[in-house]
């Protein structure tokens, strides 16, 4: 009842955003990490889009036969056939076909009527079922689609053979209360005939919140990416949504199969493969996610980590909670760093070190360990000299 499937689209939606394109060997390398991570469904590409995407889906299917591999296809004959061919060697293939359903897309992009779109969506699902038992249909721009029509098309594609109905917030326009209501209505309409899936973009910074609201309303599949990469502002961040469930089971009693210790290594590998990493203050995997600089925080943290840390860094694969020493740092943290660096300081030495340290820290963004070592040496020398003079 409370199991939520993680559909990873780092290699598809993530990869199709600027600075994120990956070669076939890079996708296979990244897929290995996603497999370690325990994602349930791994979307490896959009085979009609390029030869590379076709080969990536094929390579991932051969390399990880026990994994459910998905390939994306528009709701056309050629696309579905191409996806099916790319998945030929997959033991657990999923064809993921999509078509826009909002009037904005129908009028300006597709120039088709609602009935035409409904017929094409069903035809694509019927065709896909000839190749795979596991077929997902996505109603692109679902959140700007008329709800009655969305319900009609969702029921129709399930009737045609879709097992999963995905209702994307394609343009990141929805807000949690609204998305929750939409999902609750579609979950009620579909009952146990299909899994309702969500796919949220982050244009308003609400992708994770919207995904959580959807799960609370009955959705049981979340489409997401490592580091939240994806079109424009990105997709729902896998690490954030998974850790929200793990950290707050009292409020969010949902289970995934993600081995959270692999989150940071997966994030690091992705950053090496694409052209950028997460911003330093990115939740869970950012450089500063477990760094404490303010003196009051450092003091509390050193007395008991739970004062300022809600997640054990080791549980997400981050080697150590890091204290950054800078102008906000306190004497307690400085003394502890000196000890880590192998120094034993008298009270007088620590007082003098702290004075020199704050003067230096005022002029820069953070003080490195070698600089602290240098300060300690100079303090020890200066105090030793004045003792000799006395």
Calculate the alpha carbon distances from 173 to 110, 144, 170, 364 in Å.
Answer: 20, 8, 8, 40
Report if residue 202 touches Zn ion, rule: CB under 5 A. no
Instruction: Supply the DSSP symbol for 193.
Output: G
Half-sphere exposure of 379 (CA within 13 A, CB side): 22
Report if residue 352 touches ligand KIV, rule: CB under 6 A. no
- Alpha-carbon distance of 185 to 356, in angstroms, equals 63
Residue 268 interacts, among ligand KIV, Zn ion, none and using kind-specific CB cut-offs from 5 to 8 Å, with none
Burial 30-43 (b: 16+ CB within 10 A, else e): bbebbbebbbbbbb
Report if residue 136 touches Zn ion, rule: CB under 5 A. no
By beta-carbon proximity to ligand KIV, the closer residue of 197 and 267 is: 197
By beta-carbon proximity to ligand KIV, the closer residue of 141 and 349 is: 141
Report if residue 47 touches ligand KIV, rule: CB under 6 A. no
By beta-carbon proximity to ligand KIV, the closer residue of 12 and 262 is: 12
- Alpha-carbon distance of 239 to 108, in angstroms, equals 36
Binding mask 6-25 for Zn ion (x = CB under 5 A): -------x------------
Report if residue 79 touches Zn ion, rule: CB under 5 A. no
Residue 98 interacts, among Zn ion, ligand KIV, none and using kind-specific CB cut-offs from 5 to 8 Å, with ligand KIV
Report if residue 81 touches Zn ion, rule: CB under 5 A. no
Report if residue 43 touches ligand KIV, rule: CB under 6 A. no
Burial 273-295 (b: 16+ CB within 10 A, else e): bbeebbeeebebbbeebbbbbbb
By Cβ distance, which residue is nearest to Zn ion? 13
Report if residue 98 touches ligand KIV, rule: CB under 6 A. yes
Q: Pick the binder of ligand KIV from 82, 94, 199, 292 (CB under 6 A).
A: 199
Report if residue 145 touches ligand KIV, rule: CB under 6 A. no
Nearest CA-CA partner of 34 in 213, 26, 182: 26
Q: Are 233 and 205 in contact (CB under 8 A)?
A: yes
By beta-carbon proximity to ligand KIV, the closer residue of 168 and 228 is: 168
Chain contacts with Zn ion (rule: CB under 5 A): 13
């Amino acid at each position: 009842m409370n199991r939520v499937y993680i559909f990873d689209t780092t290699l598809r939606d993530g990869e199709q955003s600027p600075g994120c394109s990956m070669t076939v060997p890079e996708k296979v390398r990244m897929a290995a990490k996603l497999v370690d991570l325990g994602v349930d469904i791994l979307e490896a590409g959009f085979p009609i889009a390029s030869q590379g995407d076709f080969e990536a889906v094929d390579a991932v299917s051969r390399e990880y036969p026990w994994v459910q591999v998905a390939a994306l296809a528009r709701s056309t004959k050629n696309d579905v056939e191409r996806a099916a061919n790319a998945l030929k060697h997959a033991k657990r293939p999923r064809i993921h076909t999509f078509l826009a359903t909002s009037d904005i897309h129908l009028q300006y992009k597709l120039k088709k009527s609602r009935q035409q779109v409904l017929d094409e969506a069903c035809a694509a699902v019927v065709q896909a079922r000839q190749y795979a038992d596991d077929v997902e249909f996505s109603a692109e721009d679902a959140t700007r689609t008329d709800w009655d029509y969305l319900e009609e098309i969702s029921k129709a594609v399930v009737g045609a053979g879709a097992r999963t109905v995905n209702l994307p917030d394609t343009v990141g326009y929805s807000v949690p209360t609204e998305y929750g209501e939409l999902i609750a209505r579609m979950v009620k309409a579909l009952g146990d005939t299909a899994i309702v899936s969500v796919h949220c973009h982050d244009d308003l910074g609400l992708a994770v919140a919207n995904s959580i609201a959807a799960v609370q309303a009955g959705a049981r599949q979340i489409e997401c990416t490592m580091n939240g990469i994806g079109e424009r502002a990105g997709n729902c961040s896998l690490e954030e949504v998974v850790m929200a469930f793990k950290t707050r089971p009292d409020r969010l009693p949902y289970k995934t199969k993600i081995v959270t210790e692999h989150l940071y290594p997966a994030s690091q590998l992705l950053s090496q493969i694409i052209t950028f990493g997460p911003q330093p203050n990115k939740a869970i995997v950012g450089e500063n996610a477990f760094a404490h600089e303010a003196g009051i925080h450092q003091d509390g943290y050193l007395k008991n980590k739970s004062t300022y840390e809600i997640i054990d860094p080791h549980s997400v694969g981050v080697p150590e909670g890091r204290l950054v020493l800078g102008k906000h740092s306190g004497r307690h943290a400085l003394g502890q760093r000196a000890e880590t660096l192998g120094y034993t300081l008298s009270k007088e030495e620590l007082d003098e070190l702290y004075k020199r340290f704050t003067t230096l820290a005022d002029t820069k963004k953070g003080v490195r360990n070698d600089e602290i070592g240098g300060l300690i040496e100079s303090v020890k020398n200066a105090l030793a000299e004045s003792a000799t003079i006395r």
